[in-house]
Amino acid sequence: MSKIYEVRSVSRRDGTSHSWGAHYSRAKADLLLAERFTGTNEAWAQAYHQRWWIEEIDTTGLFQIPSAPPPRERFSARVTEVETGEGTLNTLRVDVLDDTGHVRGSYDRNYPALYRTFEPFRQGERIFALISSDYTATAVMDLATGKVIAAEEPHADGFCPVGFYVPDWWDINEESILPGSTYWTEDRELPNGDFGFVWGCIWGDDSSWKVQYLDLSRVQQGEIRRDDRFGYIQLASHSQLKPQEFIRCSFQGGQRRVTFSVLASFDLASGSRLGGEI
């Protein structure tokens, strides 16, 4: 049987209950209760709370928090540039390594820069990675087998990926609220790896990056779908920032939201917004 231990109290003023956090171990819950309600906090506890205790909760069959760290911290890409001769672009040989240094898969990319086109992500217990072997297309590699299981068709004038982001559970959540505890909701079971984002530009476009949506819900059936539902957004990305710092997802009341950091230009004299940006 799986259990959590939640520190709870009842208000002296109106009898409402409150959760102060939950832990998987009784010892940690004991420490939390002592921190909140004893010592220097004892007078406050006595004045405002009828009682406080640790509730033992059976969580058998409930959502299991994904393991930490996220896949992007456990897998990496080792790049070797391949010379192709005068008058042609060099290519890349990309080896995918796990956190032990073992090669889990390899692929060739027909462009001499990787940018940020390697993004490991999970769906349940399975681990995949968004890759771009062709500079005008997105693909998905199964990191258990090293095989590409879904891919867009390359297009000479298509959208060229320079970065991928698939929100992981640990990007948005933390262990302060656990499955079965007072404030747990189904929203806290997201994200689950069924969507992501790609930024880049149409070949020959300007040098700013646009962002598009990736539907990853059917990659295990060999399908990856992309669309520009956000319109012409110039993403304010930066190589020194993590993607979750300029693409921020949230889930509340069954609604999925994303907030982008975007570029915008203004006329300095009038303050009016200049063309192209949203």
Span 247-258, pLDDT tens digits: 999 999 999 999
Q: Which residue is it, tokens 């042609």?
A: 88
Hey, what are 133's tokens?
């072997």
Q: Which of 5, 118, 100 is nearest to 56 (CA)?
A: 5
On whether the CB atoms of residues 180 and 190 are closer than 8 A, the answer is no
pLDDT at 12 over 50: yes
In which band, very low, low, confident or very high, does the pLDDT at 206 lie, cut at 50, 70 and 90?
low
What is the pLDDT at residue 87? Answer: 86
Give alpha helix (H) positions in 71-116: none
In which band, very low, low, confident or very high, does the pLDDT at 278 lie, cut at 50, 70 and 90?
very low
Span 86-135, pLDDT tens digits: 889 999 999 999 999 999 999 999 999 999 999 999 999 999 999 999 99
pLDDT at 41 over 80: yes
Q: Which of 107-116, 237-246, 269-278 has the lowest mean pLDDT?
A: 269-278
Rounded-to-integer distance, Cα 19 and Cα 81, Å: 55
For residue 172, give the amino acid letter: I
pLDDT at 277 over 80: no
What is the pLDDT at residue 198? Answer: 97
Section 37-55 average pLDDT = 97
What is the pLDDT at residue 274? Answer: 83
Span 74-89, pLDDT tens digits: 999 999 999 998 889 9
Q: Which helix (H) or strand (E) holds 45?
A: helix 42-48
% of the chain residues with pLDDT over 90: 88
As to burial, measured by CB atoms within 10 angstroms (0-12 exposed, 13-18 middle, 19+ buried), residue 277 is: middle
pLDDT at 185 over 50: yes
What is the pLDDT at residue 273? Answer: 87
Provide the β-strand partners of residue 81: 92
Higher pLDDT residue, 277 or 154? 154
What is the pLDDT at residue 208? Answer: 84
Rounded-to-integer distance, Cα 219 and Cα 65, Å: 22
Ranges of each domain in the chain: 3-58, 71-260
pTM above 0.95, yes or no: no
Higher pLDDT residue, 124 or 233? 124
Span 53-71, pLDDT tens digits: 999 999 999 999 999 999 9
Higher pLDDT residue, 184 or 203? 184
